[in-house]
Amino acid sequence: MACAGQASWEESMRRSSELSAQGQFREAETALLSALQAAEAFARPDLRLAETQHQLGVLYRELGRLPEAEKWYQRSLSAWKESVGERDPSLAKPLVSLTSLYLERGLHGRAERLLDPWLHNSTQTVNPADRLSVSLLHNFAALQHVQRRYSRAEALYSQALKAAERVFSPQSQEVALLLNNLGMLFVESGKRKEARSHLERALAIWERLLSPNHPDLARALTNLAALYCSTGQYAPAEPLFQRALALAESNLGAENRLAGQILTEYALLLRKTKRKDRAKVLEARARAIRQSHAPGDLGRHTVDIRDLLPLKDKESGENR
C-alpha cells in the first residue's frame, strides 16, 4: 500500500512539472492536488508533504493567485521544519520562495525578518557553490534594491550573478532573472547601455528556456520595450509590447494585472507617437483592470524588481 502511494505521488508530481513547463497551469493544478492527497496519507512528519505544498505555492504564484501561494509556502515552511529541523540547509528552498513572494507583494519587512536570521546566523553561511544560497543572496539583493540601497544592491546582484553562472549555468532561469533585475537597477541609475545589454541577455535566455506562450516572457518583453521607449526607440519597442500583451491575455486572461501594466506602458508609446485616440482606449482598459484588483495583488509571473519599487511606501507600516 505504501509503495502504491509513493508511486501515485511521484507520478502526479512528475505530471504537474511537465504541464507547468508547458504553461498548462490549470491542468498542473489538478495533478498537484492529486499529489497532495497522496502526500497527506503518509505518516507525519514527511518531507514529501512539504515538497507538494511548496509546488502548490509555485503554481499559484504562476497563476497570479498570490494569497493562495503565500498560504501554501507558509505551510510548506512549517512542514519542512517539522521534517528536518530548524537549521537544516534544505530549508533554504521554502525560504527562497516565501521571501520572493513577500518581495513581490511589497511586504519587505516580512522578507527581511526571514532573510536576516538565515543570512547572519553563525551556524549558516551563504555558500556561493550552493544553488539555494545563491537564490537567497539574490533575494537579499532585491531587498536592498527596493529599499533604495543602490550601491549595496548592485554589489550583491553582481556577486549573485557570478555565482549563478557557475552553479546554474549561464543560460539558466536564475541567471536570466538576475540579469533582468540588475538591468532594471541600471535603468534607475541612468546606465542605459548596461541596462539594455542585461535586459536583452535576459530575454534571450528566457526565449531559449521557455515555451513560446509562457507568461514569463511577457514581463521580459515589457521591460525591454519600456527601456527602448525611454530612449526614443519606438519602432523596436512597439512589436515587443504587442507580443507581450498577446501573451498575457492569451495565457492569463484579458483582465489580468500584468495585461493592465502592459497596456499602461503601451499607451505611453502611443501618446509619444501621436496616436492619442488609440492611447485613450488602452488607458481606459488599464484603469478598469486596476480597479478590479486589490492593492498589492500584482499577479506577476517573474520575480521582477521593476514592480516592487512603487510599493515601498505602502509597506512602511509593515516594517515597524
Cell of 86: 530548524
Regions of the chain short of the pLDDT cut 70: 1-2, 119-129, 294-320
**DSSP annotation of 91:** G
| Ranges of H-type helices in 22-46 | 25-40
- Residue 306's pLDDT is 44
Distance CA(190)–CA(186), nearest Å, equals: 6
Q: Which of 56, 19, 14, 7 is nearest to 36 (CA)?
A: 56
- Residue 312's pLDDT is 32
- Residue 315's pLDDT is 32
**pLDDT tens per residue, range 79-132:** 999 999 887 878 888 988 998 899 888 888 898 888 877 766 534 445 666 888
Tell me which CATH code domain 212-292 carries. Answer: 1.25.40.10
Tell me which CATH code domain 1-85 carries. Answer: 1.25.40.10
Residue-level length of the chain: 320
Torsions phi, psi for 169 (to 5 deg): 105, 150
- Residue spans per domain, the chain: 1-85, 90-208, 212-292
C-beta neighbour count of 171 within 10 angstroms: 13
Q: Is 90-208 the same fold as 1-85?
A: yes
- Residue 127's pLDDT is 62
Range 90-208 classified under CATH 1.25.40.10: yes
**pLDDT tens per residue, range 172-186:** 999 999 999 999 999
Note whether 231 and 192 are within 8 A (CB): yes
Q: Concatenate the DSSP letters of all residues of 255-285 into one string.
A: T-HHHHHHHHHHHHHHHHTT-HHHHHHHHHH
- Residue 106's pLDDT is 83
Beta-sheet strands, E only, within 114-273: none
